[in-house]
Structure 1
Amino acid sequence: MELILSLAIGTLAGSGIWLILRPRTFQIIMGLSLLSYAVNLFIFSMGRIKLGGAPVIDTTVGSDPALYTDPLPQALVLTAIVIGFATTALFLVVLLASRGLTDTDHVDGREPEA
């Protein structure tokens, strides 16, 4: 399970960085989204990978911390997802306005000469 999670984080982070280095604005926005998903998965994995563990203390099981998952990374990731959707929507609106004003979505505002 840890190997699959590590590969997913690495793939998302690598793809996000590759897209951020592209010359088009939409590709940069998608790269930032992929990179934020990679960071969210990383934060989520810091709460211990415990399958079937209760996030809240159960009186019948006991108070051993090894029996529970940490709810704080789950709450942080949930908040980060909501904020990420809002900022992506804002970036897309700014992208559309910029494309309407300059007639290009190239980062430096002009198409490369061929």
Structure 2
Amino acid sequence: MLLVALGLYCLLLKRNLIKLIIGLVVLTDGIHLFLISLGYRSGGAAAIVSGEMFSDLPGFAAQAVDPIPQALVLTSIVINICILALALSLTIYAYRHYGTLDPSKLRRLKE
């Protein structure tokens, strides 16, 4: 929860594109940790069924860790890396072209 709050703080109050991107990464990492913790089960086993587990499948299902949040978070991490690379490349382009990383100055330059 602290990571989400720190990410929101950076997104709302910082006036530098690099700091905004760092805030976005921290925010999404906090969300990823929260979603992974939703699938945690104390004493749980991996959701891999082998031959001897078919005899007690309902008991195994009650013990197994839910793999859906893990798969969704893994997909989200990959998408987040792509967004991060795109945002950093656009930031580098904006700095080379306009000479500033302040979003309000970039908006004024557009006009």
TM-score by length of 2: 0.81
State the alpha-carbon separation in 1 of the partners of residues 88 and 42 from structure 2. 37
Q: Which runs of 5+ in 2 are unaligned?
A: 107-111
Deviation at 1:45, TM superposition (A): 1.4
In proportion to residue count, which structure has more helix? 2
Name the aligned partner's letter for residue 20 of structure 1: L
Aligned match of 1:3: none
Aligned match of 1:107: 103
Q: Which has the higher contact order (CA 8 A, sep 6+)?
A: 2
State the alpha-carbon separation in 1 of the partners of residues 43 and 87 from structure 2. 36
Pick the structure with greater CA Rg.
2
**In the alignment, does 2:47 pair up with 1:55?**
yes
**In the alignment, does 2:73 pair up with 1:77?**
yes
Name the aligned partner's letter for residue 93 of structure 2: A
Instruction: Work out the number of aligned pairs and report it.
Output: 101
Structure 1 stretch displaced more, 58-67 or 10-19 = 58-67
Of 35, 41, 47, the match for 2:33:
41
**In the alignment, does 2:4 pair up with 1:13?**
yes
Deviation at 1:43, TM superposition (A): 1.4
Misfit runs of 4+, over 4 Å: none
Instruction: Kindly indicate whether the alpha-carbon contact (under 8 Å) linking 1:57 and 1:68 is maintained by their aligned counterparts in 2.
Output: no
State the alpha-carbon separation in 1 of the partners of residues 88 and 37 from structure 2. 29
Cα 1:51/1:109, change in 2 over 3 Å: farther
Deviation at 1:15, TM superposition (A): 1.1
Of 27, 30, 45, the match for 2:22:
30
